[in-house]
Amino acid sequence: MGVDWHKRRQRGTVELAVGDYAAGISTVNALDIAEISEEIEVMKRQMRATVKDIYQDAETATDLSQQVNQLVWRERKQLQPYQTTISELINRQSAISKEVYRVQACNMYASHLLQSVRANLLQLAAHRMPNWSITIGRHELTPDRDVSIVEADDIERTDDDQRIHRYVHKGLARLGRT
């Protein structure tokens, strides 16, 4: 009996120790699980708040985008008449520039013709045969050609020119040059 009792007692002590150890582990595990669960709940709240903030930011961005689009539409509508006016002014300026270039070209051509005529008159005044060449429109009048015809439509006529319909130059007898 002594040995059995002693063995039983040892076995009981071991069982108590093992039971207490297991109970301690369960208590520790239960505490750990409770802490982890609490941390999970905190993280869930933070995630929900973050997601809620993201949705609110997205809604705010959508609202701002709509407001900006409305402002742009209003501004565009207000600027539409100005755009039309600006386009008309640009077109007018282009037409004016073309006219200015045309007038400048005519003036340069007229200056060239006047200089040619003056040079010819100076040669005539010096009793020399003029060495002349005048280009009007597409035609060139020179003493070396037999016939040159210049239609009045080839040049822009002033009031003085309107009674003249065409210029005809028939070949001159070639005079010896002095």
Write down the domain spans for the chain: 1-128, 133-178
Q: What are the pLDDT digits (tens) for 56-78?
A: 888 998 999 999 999 999 998 88
How distant, in Å, are the alpha carbons of 52, 62, 65, 68, 70 from that of 59?
10, 5, 10, 14, 16
Check if the beta carbon of residue 148 is closer than 8 Å to that of residue 139.
yes
Find the helix or strand (DSSP H, E) in which 169 lies. Answer: strand 166-170
Mean pLDDT for the stretch of residues 18-37: 65
List of residues 6+ apart from 12 with CB closer than 8 A: none
The residue ranking higher by pLDDT, 110 or 134, is 110
φ, ψ of residue 21 to 5 degrees: the values are: -65, -45
Predicted TM-score (pTM) of the model is: 0.35
Q: Report the range out of 45-59, 116-130, 152-166 with the highest average pLDDT.
A: 45-59
